Amino acid sequence: MTFNDIFKSNFLSNISSVSIFDTLLTIVLAFGIGTFIFLVYKKTYQGVMYSSSFGVTLIALTMITSQVILAVTSNVVLSLGMVGALSIVRFRTAIKEPLDIAFLFWAIAAGIILAAGMIPLAVIGSVMIGMILLIFVNRKSHIHPYIVVLSCQDHESETKAKSFLEQQVQKCVVKSKTAQRGLIELNMEVRMKDDNTDFINALSEMPGVSSAVLVSYNGEYMG
């Protein structure tokens, strides 16, 4: 059999129709699971600025993926065309939070599984993934990391301020130090004993200390 025989056969032109009920059921379930993914994303978000458009994108992505897979499974020619079309698509939007990648793959996987007819797997799997994310992402540590930005006028005031800070916190590590004439700036990572931040007020009022700033820190951003 040659390639001409294959293209002349009815194999490539064969279309298995998708019923209206299956289409509506898939879209409705995709919307429900996409909404669940959106709610979990909103509950577990820990970035700097929450983007509601990204949450809506998760819902749309689940529904769009399910429709694409339904179309692909109904027509062999269409599946080949979609593979070629999607291979040239390039997304330039930067993912700022590593956890956002997991939500994107979750939405795509849920849409694919739904369109493949594995409804129990899509529903039960999404519920379990959501529960795991809610448990682990929202788990708070009793030791909160912070960054103290300290500006001093001379070495003597720097030594006294650092000694005072070490007494007030559980752990203090110097991350960076900038020295100029008449100005010394320290960036120190501290682990506080509790939520009391009054020591920053006392630190800023010490002789030779120009300013003392306390900001939260998670390893990627400060704010």
pLDDT digits (tens, 9 = 90+) for 54-113: 888 899 999 988 888 887 776 655 555 565 555 555 656 666 777 888 898 999 899 889
Do 87 and 41 reside in the same domain of the chain? yes
Do 150 and 133 reside in the same domain of the chain? no
DSSP state at residue 116: T
Closest CA to 40 of 105, 134, 140, 137: 134
Do 186 and 80 reside in the same domain of the chain? no
* Predicted model pTM: 0.62
Do 171 and 106 reside in the same domain of the chain? no
Count the domains in the chain.
Answer: 2
- CB of 114 closer than 8 Å to CB of 66: yes
Do 207 and 131 reside in the same domain of the chain? no
- The answer to whether residue 204 sits within a structural domain is yes
Domain that holds residue 51: 3-137
Do 121 and 156 reside in the same domain of the chain? no
Closest CA to 95 of 135, 58, 133: 58
- The answer to whether residue 119 sits within a structural domain is yes
Residue with tokens 């993934």: 129
Q: Whole-angstrom Cα distance, residue 207 to residue 204?
A: 8
Closest CA to 108 of 4, 168, 30: 30
